[in-house]
Structure 1
């Protein structure tokens, strides 16, 4: 095939896609900054998904200059789609990427969006923007497609090759071209959605379903605790039924589950159709950080430790275990709230980039080597990084009357003062 693929975004979604496509096509990756492009060219991957050798195995070109992509025939947008402080969709990364593509768009080019968007965004927002900025006509001079990303960062089993890929083109021939392209790299098979809107909606509901189910367990967890039963014991018992889905309570952060529901809520608002269950699930999961903070302070008091005199250690700020992604970190919320209530609070997360944590949250993390013996009145495990399992928390880090709050079930049952 003579296609040259340009991937906009060299992060958790774009980079695996680039490495996979480079086996079969000429690939160029457009990044936001020159510094990031230079890092990738040297084999440095911020997401820690690929080694230097893996990145250099194929002649992928990394650039921050859109003019260097002008000979591409397929553009794939993999930029983040966050939310504003008022929980409405922030499409500025998609808009910026679309405008950049429009400046070099040519006749017969295809623009595929993998970024999560609200239903209708590709055809009703992106395509008109491409038309306006390029002077070309949608579905006559250029074409669009949508294929929702299903990357699970740090997951070495469910890779880009082993997860079914949903695809939809703006015309049947474009869908066929997408089928031929993606079919080369997706070993698990393709699902051909009947329309771009169906593909957009599918991405939203697969994460909304998880958000709602986690919210159910987060709602039940405090009740089970008051009743004197362990939530995980209840889930394990219920899981013996064939159709029970074992969702666990916990902090919901990251770039998908804690964000995607707001894009569906945006669709509902625009159509004047209430979606109360989705909204309530979001409210429930967002409140978990407050529940953890309140529970921590109450446990300190129960152990005759005055919160204003307490020294606390938090383990973890990334949104999931063994992954450096710190977007929408609920741990950061817990840290900020406790910082105002206790004497001192330290945060240790060797997986996260220290500079990035400070840039985003203004939190200075400390290395594991700098943890001080018997310093802490409480240790809160917020992320289950594998390397934390080597820490002898009770023996080395805690004061004699100290408490362990294990939000991830990292420790054996009975080894902590509080679990969800």
Structure 2
């Protein structure tokens, strides 16, 4: 426990490598308790943080401005740390295979600057075995040190939920693991400095790695089931929410809802499981099927929008269509692997013009993806179709008068279309006002 004591007594630094949606909250939390370095290779990102700005919206500008966290792009500063947390992204390639490049590069940087008697803990989501079989050899090669003798390793899967103001870092129980009992106890003690909900000691690093994949694959499958029900109920002309409300009166109903499932966790992690299973000769059936359903929901929503407009005698090619929300989830600026983006791209592939409204998305990132600017919510007018794909707070606060202002004056031949993926509004109320309303 010497490493823990030196960290707690602020003799040595704790470092967080990778300062995105996961790493930044972790680093800021530790900086309240111990000497903490926040390292990232992205100089623009680090400079933004140094200016007191938080583009992730996870911490907020005020906390960034007041934090004791030392931001740096200098990898040699990692030599001052005896406890290093790796929180870099682990995306998938175009063929849905794991892209371990960020975690490999991070391991190389850390290895070149690894102090003897340090502990390296990986938080990046990986399939079981990556930490010990891929990262450790890189750390040893780059440092010239021997794992188990000169340094130790652990794994603690991230559980940060971007955009969630209820389930925060400190009140989500943390899974921790270490290569041996001494390391496990040290890793647990360090995280207990910031995790009020406590920690769960996994029996091995591989169990901790597998637990993260299981968490997200389970959620992915349950949402896929609801999405499949929604597609079938749509053909039956049954409202899925009405079915769910009735179903949820039973005590053991799970309470899942259909939706657009993207992002860098649920939309990615199942592919890590599928990949490793196939390496071992097992072809996933349930998890792969669930991912296929969820990956195609953007197309289903886009096709439904087109169908509803045609049924309402709207000229689709000339329609004034506003996409309400482009990020992968509510109240979060992250657009990575967003299925709302899939909806837009599918509509655009038909030559349909769309305008996008998102009060939290990064404007520069959006323009880079779509070569157009975001529309401010106050500038919506003369709409034929409003498609609410993401449940941002600003959209939840809209009333019927706000919606009426956004639409163009209706002729007797056409209906105004509201697509409400997240059931933000009351269907009966809007239908009574003459809108053509559709939700998953």
How would you bin the TM-score normalised by the shorter chain?
Answer: over 0.9
* Structure 2 equivalent of residue 264 of structure 1: 273
Cα distance in 1 between the residues matched to 2:205 and 2:369? 34
- How many Å apart are 1:67 and its aligned residue? 1.1
1:124, 1:362 → 2: CA distance? 42
More displaced, 401-410 or 226-235?
Answer: 226-235
User: What runs of 5+ residues in structure 2 fail to find an aligned partner?
Assistant: 8-12, 431-435
Report SS of the residue matched to 1:246.
Answer: coil
Structure 2 residue aligned with 1:418: 438
Question: 3-state SS of the aligned residue for 2:170?
Answer: coil
Match of 2:115 in 1: 106
Task: Quote how far apart the aligned CAs of 1:239 are.
Answer: 1.3
Alpha-carbon offset, residue 360 of structure 1: 4.0
Residue of structure 1 in register with 2:348 after alignment: 339
Deviation at 1:308, TM superposition (A): 2.0
The 2-side partners of 1:35 and 1:303 are apart by 48
Q: Matched residues in 2 for 1:217 and 1:279: separation?
A: 16
Match of 1:383 in 2: 390
Give the Cα–Cα distance (whole angstroms) in 2 for the partners of residues 175 and 363 of structure 1.
50
Q: State the distance in 1 between where 2:242 and 2:137 align.
A: 53
SS in 2 for 1:299: helix
Partner of 1:249 in structure 2?
258
RMSD: 1.5
SS of the residue aligned with 2:419?
Answer: strand
Given that 2:78 and 2:114 are in contact with CA atoms closer than 8 Å, whether structure 1 keeps it comes out as: no
Rounded Cα–Cα distance in structure 2 between residues aligned with 1:130 and 1:209: 32
CA distance in 1, matches of 2:222, 2:55: 31
* Deviations, residues 292-326 of structure 1 (Å, cap 9, x unaligned): 11111111111112322222110100111111111
CA distance in 2, matches of 1:62, 1:303: 55
Give the SS at the match of 1:417. strand
356-365 or 53-62: bigger deviation: 356-365
Compute the displacement of 1:50 (Å): 2.1
Q: State the Cα distance separating 1:359 from its structure 2 match.
A: 2.5
Shift of 1:390: 2.7
Indicate conservation of the 8 Å contact 1:318/1:324, yes or no: yes
Question: How many Å apart are 1:22 and its aligned residue?
Answer: 1.4
1:318-350, Cα deviation, whole Å (9 max, x unpaired): 111111111101111111111233552100111
TM-score of the aligned structures, taking structure 1 as reference length: 0.96
Deviation at 1:102, TM superposition (A): 0.5
Where do 1:96-245 residues align within 5 Å?
96-245=105-254
Output the CA distance in 2 between the equivalents of 1:355 and 1:233: 39
More deviation, 149-158/198-207: 149-158
Instruction: Tell me, in whole angstroms, the C-alpha distance in 2 between the residues paired with 1:294 and 1:24.
Output: 52
Aligned with residue 326 of structure 2, among 314, 317, 327: 317
Cα distance, 1:402 vs. partner?
A: 1.9
Counterpart Cα distance in 2 of 1:393 and 1:344:
23
| Pick aligned residue for 1:12 from 12, 18, 21 | 21
Q: 1:274 Cα shift?
A: 1.6
1:182 to partner: Cα distance: 0.8
Task: Report the number of matched residues.
Answer: 418
Query: Does structure 2 retain, via aligned residues, the 8 Å contact 1:307–1:343?
Result: yes
1:311 touches 1:343 (CA, 8 Å); kept in 2?
no
Give the conservation status (yes or no) of the 8 Å contact 1:325–1:352.
yes
**What is the CA deviation profile of residues 375-396 of structure 1, one whole-angstrom value per residue up to 9, with x for unaligned ones?**
x221111111111233645412
CA contact (8 A) 2:387 2:420 kept: yes
Task: Give the secondary structure class of the aligned counterpart of 1:70.
Answer: helix
Instruction: Classify the secondary structure of the residue corresponding to 1:379.
Output: strand
**Distance in 2 of aligned mates of 1:74 and 1:343:** 52
After TM superposition, give the deviation of residue 200 of structure 1 in Å: 0.2
Instruction: Find the aligned partners of 2:68 and 2:30 in 1 and give their Cα distance.
Output: 11
**Distance (Å, rounded) in 2 between the aligned partners of 1:260 and 1:361:** 26
**1:42-121 mapped onto 2 (5 Å cutoff):** 42-121=51-130
SS of 1:327's equivalent in the other structure is coil
Conservation of the 8 A alpha-carbon contact between 1:43 and 1:53:
yes
Measure how far apart 1:139 and its partner are: 1.1
